[in-house]
Structure 1
Amino acid sequence: MPVSAPTVLPPVTDPSTAWLVVDDIALRYGKRTILEHLSFALPQGGIACLLGPSGCGKTTALRAIAGFEPISDGAIRLAGQVLSAPGQITPPEKRRIGMVFQDYALFPHLTVAQNVGFGLRGRAGADQRVAEMLDTVGLAHAAQRFPHELSGGQQQRVALARALAPQPSILLLDEPFSNLDVALRERLAGEVRDILKATNTTAVLVTHDQHEAFAMADVIGVMADGHLQQWDTAYGLYHQPANRRVANFVGQGAFVPAVVVDEHHLRLDVGQSTGDQTVFATDDVMTHAPGTRVDVLMRPDDVVHDDASPVKARVLHKAFKGAEFLYTLALSDGTEVLSAIPSHHDHAIGEAIGIRLDLSHVVAFAHVAE
């Protein structure tokens, strides 16, 4: 099944035009606040992901959208209808919401076709709809098999077909790929994305895995401590993180101290043996005043292997990634950076290698003393 390229949807500037609106909601258990000031909007056919570590509130947000949790403030609207508000909650079974769970929740005594048709019992045309959905997820050949006869990836596609069969207004996916191995996880995320796009299904995924989020979502909300840190495309999160928490959680990188020279230049210690500091020019406009100490985010692709460079770094660690090594390098002053280097450059631990910095795009935050 082909994997489509990510579709970058424009932000929803007018929530009244959005299909799903989560409007400044909070969720509290007594004095404990789980979610606070959570807001986002999603157009019809859009795929969103709430991304964050365990305990950040992403699953609670999904459960609130599903109607399993009452909210303390704000409102949740779907297709213009208020589903949740303080003291008001539409029951889950009346929301026309589909759910795909982490453990698939398939009925072991029912065939694949019977599982997919479970929510269609008594409806006219149910058999035809089941056949359509099995064809959509590429499992028409497995209609009469039982779940235990399928692979994990196939079981997940059955769960998806079952959730889509009643034509829900929105589909919610709760860590749907966590039981699968890493390679299958990313491939299946791409396949599920294609299916959702083909059926014009609006969906919200929650996961702690950024690779799943990148493979599947149009827009991603990074969460921490019950707050939405940034709502953006994968590209925006990686290259323009809103704060340190997003920068640390999305992708890999290291912070290197620097001083702003002017709006287009900054000076940082690149660890040369002479101790000289080098000024780097950038097309980006510095938002910090000249003389301000900042920490510059350096991604592994910003630190380029270059044997001819006078700047040397010592290899501290390396991780083989197949096409590349991810090296942890120490500059002469002890500053550590990461570098992604093609794997035919197999350097030994302790070896000094030449590097240069490609700071075509600068992300800098106010300096934090160690």
Structure 2
Amino acid sequence: MSEIVRVATKAMRMMLGEQDDPELILLSFPGSSGARVSLFRHARTNSLYAVKCVAQSRVSLMDEIGRRNALTPYLPDHLPQVLWCQVLDGFEVMISECKGIHSLHHLIINSNVPHSRLLGVWKDFIEALLRMWQGSEHQFNEALCPRFFPARLGRIEQGIRNATVGKTKLSECWDMPVVVNGSEYQSIAKSFEAIAQVGKPKMGVVCHGDPQPSNIVVGTRYSWYCVDWEWAGPHQDWRMMLANLYGWWSTRCSVLSTDAVLRVSRNRLEIEHSSYVPTHLQPYQDIARSVASTMSAGFPSEETTNDVNRFLAALYFGEIRFLHMWGREAFAETMLAQAITTISGSYRGANAQSFRFPQQ
């Protein structure tokens, strides 16, 4: 039994006041924060519980519960109840209702149910986010944003400096021009400088903070529930949230056509790759894209589109740090190429994953 499962089982017994071990039915993969979630079934009642265990997280579980409360007025029927929270054997432990065993991500990737049903869940989730954004507009204060972008970008940049893709240390080609599929782009260094030029939104909104299918649990009759509230709260930049909604499909669902190649040649960093989001998943991305029209009261401006792409490029760079957690190390070259081309404002190639509308 792993240490996390042992602690989670102990917490369940403490909460229930029982000596019998509940039945462990699922242990999640670790998230980027290092947290693991164990799902348990109570032997007598068949009730399901989600037990989140984390050590040395940037956001404590007590703070996460507080941030959940910011969402309650807007998503009253879509938030599991928190039942218990304590520090136990060096772990912060939170027990909440388990409203469903599988995330929307799991169901989509495995095609466990018809995509028409899952697309309906995604559409309903997006519409709920839009209502929340429009109903919570307030003066934006970047210093109060739960996902303070300058600090986040700094962590991403440091992670990429320390990264090795294939046998190439990115720190050693930091200032080299990058050639993607034969076209030359700016260096990694200049790409980060360009991302940092993102403008401020006209207003802040309340949001989940990390809205994407891995954080949506699907329950009975295709009901849905938001989990992982560590970045929730006000003073969110809706364009950053849109980048998550749109870019997630490229980071977690893209498919490689061929093996990607990364090499240094003639003092240039060269990447050859070919990837795409499968056709049956593109409608999910299209629904996310529609958010920009609604929030912009029509067709989004060039400035809005450029800022969404700055956030997208940061997302693509950032995901490189976590590919090993999901067994997707083979996508490192592709994520690097997508980040570089996205921030360069280039839409070359049918498979580019920049944010844009068909007319552009």
**TM-score normalised to the size of structure 2?**
0.24
Give 1 or 2 for the bigger CA radius of gyration: 1
Higher helix share: 2
**TM-score normalised to the size of structure 1?**
0.23
